[in-house]
Structure 1
Amino acid sequence: MNCPSREVRITLRNAGARNEDYGIERSDDAPSVPGQIGPHSTKTVMIKLREDRRTRVQVNWANKLLETRTLTANCKKAGAAPPSETPPSKLPHTGPDNGVLWARAATGAAAMITGVIIFWYGGIWPRRREQIFANKKSG
């Protein structure tokens, strides 16, 4: 891998006695690279990869797969410093604090008290002392 150009060098060797056709295909929707190599010769082909994406590169000869490699171009991250501690000796605190737990408990208690008050008030509110409908006996 050559950074920052994100180019990969592929070297092809023909050990046979005649010209051979080859094809280099990639999984990143780029067009295939066809070519021909002479007898007893070596050819180098440069292909460019996308940044931070895994790309499967395969070399074919006579519609047969010769070799496949999965490559990733991390040229932007190549200059980054390695992490200082791998793995960390102590995990960071990620749960709720004690104050949050008390606030949730107080909210639940207040909701229960409000429900009890509404239930009690609903039982006494519609009462009326005067009689709205006449009794069947008095009529």
Structure 2
Amino acid sequence: MSCPSRSVRVTVRNTGTQREDFTVLKNDDSATVPATVAPHDSKTVTVELKEDRRTLVQVDWANKQIETRSLTANCKHAAAAPHKTAPSKLPHTGPDTVLWARAATGVGVMLTGVVIFWYGGIWPRRRDQVFAKKTTD
């Protein structure tokens, strides 16, 4: 996208052997942009976006959707904020070693087992006698 004109260039490439017609549609109640591209050629169509609104730009060919992109023009904010360059290496966000994570998982599993074993011993409490007592007669 180029600022301050809020325009987007949409390039369509024809890899076939005949001329093809296509249209560029937007969901902002503006007119569609019809165009024709020659065989083995490309055609660039410029589409204007509205400021600070998300616009769905769609390319159709033979009443079939080819590509759709959701774009937002932030030209007012882009002039105020400097552009940051992408980092050459992603920052490290995970654990330093996996050993402590494995130990924590093992302790958690053991505690869960102890709680289940304890709870299984106290539940269900039955007050009546399940098995008859052995009597010596």
TM interval, short-chain normalised: 0.5 to 0.7
TM-score by length of 1: 0.57
Paired positions, count? 82
Q: The residue matched to 1:76 in structure 2 has which SS?
A: helix
- Equivalences for 1:12-91 in 2 at 5 Å? 12-81=12-81
Residues 5-40 of structure 1: per-residue CA shift (max 9 Å, x gap): 000011110000000010100000010001111100
> How much does 1:67 deviate?
0.3
Q: The residue matched to 2:25 in structure 1 has which SS?
A: strand
Q: The residue matched to 1:79 in structure 2 has which SS?
A: helix
RMSD across aligned positions (CA): 1.0
Task: Extract unaligned runs of 5+ from structure 2.
Answer: 83-137
Q: The residue matched to 2:55 in structure 1 has which SS?
A: strand
User: In structure 2, how many angstroms separate the alpha carbons of the residues matched to 1:41 and 1:75?
Assistant: 31
TM-score by length of 2: 0.58
Change (3 A) 1:21 1:81: closer
User: In structure 2, how many angstroms separate the alpha carbons of the residues matched to 1:13 and 1:81?
Assistant: 34
In the TM superposition, structure 1's runs of 4+ consecutive aligned residues that sit over 3 Å from their partners are: none
Bigger radius of gyration among the two: 1
Residues 89-135 of structure 1: per-residue CA shift (max 9 Å, x gap): xxxxxxxxxxxxxxxxxxxxxxxxxxxxxxxxxxxxxxxxxxxxxxx
User: In structure 2, how many angstroms separate the alpha carbons of the residues matched to 1:22 and 1:38?
Assistant: 11
User: In structure 2, how many angstroms separate the alpha carbons of the residues matched to 1:59 and 1:52?
Assistant: 22
